[in-house]
Amino acid sequence: MKRCLLALLLWSGYLHGQTDKSRLHFSLLSGYQHEDFRWSIAGDINGNNPNIYSELIWKQLAGPIAGIEGEWNFWKSFSLRSSYSRLFIVSGKVTDMDYQGDNRTSRSYYGAFDSNKGNSAAWRTTLDYKIDLTPSLSIVPSLGYVLHTQSLFLLSDDASLGSNKLRSTYATTFKGGTLGVRAIIAVGKRGAIEPSLLYDQVKFRGKADWNLIPTFSHPLSFEDDANGYNIEGGLKGSYTCSRFFDLFLSANYLYGNTGKGTDRLYLTNGQQPLTQFNGALRHFWGIHAGLKWNIPCIKNGQSQKIKQPN
């Protein structure tokens, strides 16, 4: 047993003395996120009769968020970076409104419901290139792929809605290309600040199951398609605790919008009427704290035998 412990200590000392700069990093984070989302459709495919026929608005979707990120500096200044985060919605409200006149006039229906469950997730993978401008300032442009998803609900126990509980769903995807830039600014010997800006060009799709409407098909009642974009800004401050670990605090804000598209309704009689999707609008903000693990790499071509104790 003593021989094994001594060998392990010798090996640890060897790694400590022979490591090069870290080329592999993993980060874990948790925090809080607040999100709003809305969309509407027109009365016909040309955007008329009326121009806003039905509108859904989700507000104050909030809850804890958890995330993970990995970064691999695989060659010179090039790195692969991938991150995933997930908001667990525990509070929120949604309203559903229909109109008979243009510009939200002659309202024919209003419903207010809970939306205190579901989730919102983001996955982003990019190729990064680090440009060192000064010893304390680097710029990192990036190019890659992004996927945002939402799983949203309309919930109510109101008996007037029918014998079954209202449990309608609306699931979205925003996917496409992403490009961005971030700066790494050294603050003293151990600190750093990283402002960032991202732009996503995305394809939007929303799929709904309106569970209490018998003339709609289930589980797919209608789906929406459009093209859009996201703009996301972030700020991160980190402190190096040791060669292996950093602590960080971060915040981000995202604004997303789509243009006009199509809304396809699926009816139980087999018909699939089309109308104009007026677009979706989304924004959220989040704050996070986390830990970054820096995995050191052994210098190329170096090796050393560990002498076994007698």
Amino acid at position 139, single letter:
I
Q: Which tokens sit at 22?
A: 């870290």
Q: How far is CA 183 from CA 76, 139, 234, 244, in A?
A: 18, 5, 11, 22
Alpha-carbon distance 137 to 195, whole Å?
12
Classified as helix, coil or strand, 310 is coil
Classified as helix, coil or strand, 269 is coil
pLDDT, position 114: 96
Alpha-carbon distance 206 to 211, whole Å?
16
pLDDT, position 21: 58
Q: Do the bridges between strand 78-88 and strand 91-101 make them parallel or antiparallel, or are there none, so unpaired? A: unpaired
Question: H/E element holding 74?
Answer: strand 54-75
pLDDT, position 115: 97
CA proximity to 116, closest of 39, 174, 65, 58: 58
Residues of the chain with pLDDT under 50: 1-20, 300-310
pTM of the full structure: 0.86
Alpha-carbon distance 285 to 181, whole Å?
19
Q: Which tokens sit at 106?
A: 């002659």
Alpha-carbon distance 194 to 248, whole Å?
10
Q: How far is CA 49 from CA 55, 105, 203, 239, in A?
A: 14, 12, 27, 58
pLDDT, position 299: 52
Sign of the dihedral through C-alpha 108, 160, 36, 223: negative
CA proximity to 228, closest of 167, 177, 164, 275: 177
pLDDT, position 23: 87
Alpha-carbon distance 163 to 144, whole Å?
48
Alpha-carbon distance 15 to 50, whole Å?
70
Return the biggest CA–CA distance within the chain.
92
